[in-house]
C-alpha cells in the first residue's frame, strides 16, 4: 500500500488563483516582516470547509488558510485580515473579517434554534417558544392588528 507523502516542511503547494491548480515555484517567496498583517480576500470555501484566500504577498495565487474564526461559504469575496505562520506568505491565517457596512444587507430570514426554549424579552414583555410547540406571549398589554382577517384557531379558544 502506497503511503501519501506529506508536503515538504509542512508547506502546502501554491495554487493558481484562476484554475486552483498547483504551481511549481522555483524559489520560495521572501518572508514577510515579523508581525505582518495583510488584508486579503476569501476566494472560496470548499464543501470540506477549506478556506482559500488571495492576498498581495503572493499576487495571482490562492492558498488554503487556517482560520481563527469560522468562515462560511457566503463570505467568498469578502475582505479578511491575515497573519502568516512563521512569516511565510504561503501559510495564511484568517484572523477576522474586514467590516463593510455596505455588505450588511437586510436578511431575508433569521432562524434561531434552541433545544428547549427561545425567549425574547424586553422589560416586562416576552415571547417564549418551547420545544413542545407552545408559544407564550406575556405583557402588560397585548395588541393585535391585521389589515385582513385576524383569526384565532385552536382546539378551544378561551376569552377571559
Q: Are residues 47 and 117 in the same domain?
A: no
In the block, cell 508581525 appears at: 35
CA distance 72 to 69: 10
Residues 4-30, mean pLDDT to the nearest whole number: 54
Asked whether residue 104 is assigned to any structural domain, the reply reads no
Asked whether residue 102 is assigned to any structural domain, the reply reads no
Q: Are residues 12 and 88 in the same domain?
A: yes
Q: Are residues 20 and 76 in the same domain?
A: yes
Q: Are residues 119 and 87 in the same domain?
A: no
The CA dihedral of 91, 92, 93, 99, to the nearest 10 degrees, is 180
Residues 110-131, mean pLDDT to the nearest whole number: 89
The burial of 57, by beta-carbon neighbours within 10 Å (0-12 exposed, 13-18 middle, 19 or more buried), is given as buried
The proportion of the chain whose per-residue pLDDT surpasses 70, expressed as a percent, equals: 79
Residues 7-22, mean pLDDT to the nearest whole number: 53
Which band of pLDDT confidence, cut at 50, 70 and 90, is reported for residue 33?
Answer: confident
Q: Are residues 86 and 135 in the same domain?
A: no
Q: Are residues 38 and 70 in the same domain?
A: yes
Cell of residue 113, nine digits? 434554534
Considering its fold, how many domains does the chain have in total? Answer: 2
pTM above 0.85, yes or no: no
Region for residue 145 given its phi and psi (left: phi exceeds 0; alpha: psi -120 to 50; beta: otherwise): beta
Query: Where in the sequence is the domain holding 121, given as residue range(s)?
Result: 113-141
CA distance 20 to 70: 22
Amino acid at each position: 500500500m502506497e503511503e501519501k507523502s506529506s508536503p515538504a516542511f509542512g508547506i502546502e503547494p501554491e495554487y493558481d488563483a484562476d484554475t486552483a491548480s498547483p504551481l511549481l515555484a522555483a524559489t520560495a517567496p521572501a518572508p514577510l516582516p515579523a508581525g505582518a498583517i495583510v488584508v486579503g480576500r476569501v476566494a472560496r470555501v470548499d464543501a470540506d470547509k477549506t478556506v482559500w484566500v488571495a492576498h498581495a504577498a503572493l499576487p495571482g495565487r490562492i492558498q488554503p488558510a487556517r482560520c481563527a474564526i469560522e468562515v462560511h461559504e457566503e463570505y467568498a469575496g469578502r475582505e479578511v485580515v491575515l497573519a502568516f505562520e512563521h512569516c511565510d506568505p504561503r501559510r495564511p491565517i484568517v484572523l477576522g473579517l474586514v467590516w463593510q457596512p455596505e455588505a450588511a444587507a437586510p436578511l431575508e430570514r433569521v432562524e434561531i434554534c434552541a433545544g428547549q426554549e427561545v425567549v425574547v424579552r424586553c422589560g416586562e414583555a416576552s415571547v417564549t417558544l418551547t420545544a413542545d410547540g407552545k408559544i407564550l406571549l406575556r405583557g402588560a398589554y397585548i395588541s393585535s392588528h391585521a389589515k385582513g382577517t385576524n383569526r384565532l384557531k385552536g382546539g378551544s379558544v378561551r376569552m377571559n
